[in-house]
C-alpha cells in the first residue's frame, strides 16, 4: 500500500472509514477532510438495488437542488432562430444551431448542458457519438428537449441537475462545493435522495438504497447511514 502523506493521515484521523455517519455529521466531515487549495466539488454516490440492464429498472430523473451546485454551468442552446433571443435573455452561454452542430462534430464539447427543441432533435441526434459518452445528449425526461428553452436555461443555471443510474447500479451526482455550509450540503443531498426514493421501480425487489457515500473531489468517501434521512 502506498505511504500516506501527512495531509492524508491528518484527514483520516478525523473520521473512521469503517463507520457509518448521519447525513448531518457526514456533511461536516466532508468539509474537514478536504485538503485541496481549490473549492472542491461535493459528490454523492448512491448504490441502488436495481438491475440497470432491465429497461424497467433504469432509474433516471431530475432534481432542483435547493442551494444549486455552486458551479458555473455552461449552457448551449441549439434552437431555431425565433427562439434565440429567449435563450440569450435566460442566460444561455452559447446559442445557435448549424454552426454549433458543426463545432461539436469537430470535437468541441466545452459545455456542461445542452438544451434543444423537439423540432431540431433530428439534427442533434446525429451528434450521439460525440455527446452520448460525455453525458451531454439532450433528453425529454431531463427537461432538456423542450419548446420552453428560456425556462429550461433558468432552471439549469439555478441548480437543476439530471441523474441516472450507471451500469453498476450507482447514481453519481455533484451536490455542491466544500465552501457550502454543512446545512446546505445536507439539504441538497436530502433533496436528491428523496427524489431518487420516489423513482423506485415497481419491479425492484429487496433493499432499494444499498449504500450512500459522500465525498469531495480528492477526499475519501464517507458512508452515510440511510436511517438518518427521513422520508426514505
Q: Mind listing the pLDDT tens digit of every residue in the chain (232 residues)?
A: 456 678 777 777 778 889 999 999 999 999 988 888 899 999 999 999 999 999 899 999 999 999 999 988 999 999 999 999 999 999 999 999 999 999 999 999 999 999 999 999 999 999 999 999 998 999 998 899 999 999 999 999 988 998 999 999 999 999 999 999 999 999 999 999 999 999 999 998 899 999 999 999 888 899 999 999 988 8
Residue 219: which residues within 8 A CB-CB, separation 6 or more?
11, 30, 33, 34, 35, 40
Q: Kindly provide the b/e burial profile for residues 57-82, where b requires at least 16 CB atoms within 10 angstroms of the residue's own CB.
A: bebebbbebebbbbeebebbbbbeee
- Looking at residue 1, what is its pLDDT? 43
Distance CA(187)–CA(23), nearest Å, equals 9
Q: Report the first-to-last Cα separation within the chain, whole angstroms.
A: 38
- Looking at residue 5, what is its pLDDT? 77
Q: For 100, phi and psi rounded to 5 degrees?
A: -75, -35
Cα 189 → chain centroid: 11
Asked if residue 178 lies in contact with residue 216, where contact means CB atoms within 8 angstroms, the answer is: yes
Domains in the chain, CATH or no CATH each: 6-69+161-228 (3.30.190.20), 75-157 (3.40.50.790)
How buried is residue 213: exposed, middle or buried, by Cβ count under 10 Å (0-12/13-18/19+)?
middle
Amino acid at each position: 500500500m502506498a505511504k500516506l502523506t501527512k495531509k492524508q493521515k491528518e484527514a483520516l484521523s478525523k473520521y473512521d472509514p469503517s463507520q457509518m455517519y448521519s447525513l448531518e455529521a457526514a456533511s461536516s466531515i466532508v468539509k474537514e477532510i478536504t485538503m485541496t487549495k481549490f473549492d472542491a466539488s461535493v459528490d454523492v454516490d448512491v448504490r441502488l438495488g436495481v438491475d440497470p440492464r432491465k429497461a424497467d429498472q433504469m432509474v433516471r430523473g431530475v432534481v432542483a437542488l435547493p442551494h444549486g451546485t455552486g458551479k458555473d454551468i455552461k449552457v448551449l442552446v441549439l434552437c431555431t432562430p425565433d427562439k434565440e433571443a429567449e435563450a440569450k435573455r435566460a442566460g444561455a452561454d452559447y446559442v445557435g444551431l448549424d454552426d454549433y452542430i458543426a463545432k461539436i462534430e469537430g470535437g468541441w464539447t466545452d459545455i456542461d448542458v445542452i438544451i434543444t427543441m423537439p423540432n431540431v432533435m433530428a439534427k442533434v441526434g446525429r451528434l450521439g457519438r460525440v455527446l452520448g459518452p460525455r453525458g451531454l445528449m439532450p433528453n425529454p425526461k431531463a427537461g432538456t428537449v423542450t419548446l420552453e428553452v428560456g425556462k429550461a436555461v433558468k432552471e439549469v443555471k439555478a441548480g437543476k441537475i439530471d441523474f441516472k443510474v450507471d451500469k453498476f447500479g450507482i447514481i453519481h451526482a455533484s451536490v455542491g462545493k466544500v465552501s457550502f455550509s454543512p446545512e446546505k450540503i445536507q439539504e441538497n443531498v436530502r433533496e436528491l435522495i428523496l427524489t431518487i426514493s420516489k423513482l423506485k421501480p415497481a419491479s425492484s425487489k429487496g433493499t432499494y438504497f444499498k449504500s450512500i457515500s459522500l465525498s469531495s473531489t480528492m477526499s475519501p468517501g464517507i458512508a452515510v447511514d440511510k436511517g438518518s434521512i427521513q422520508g426514505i
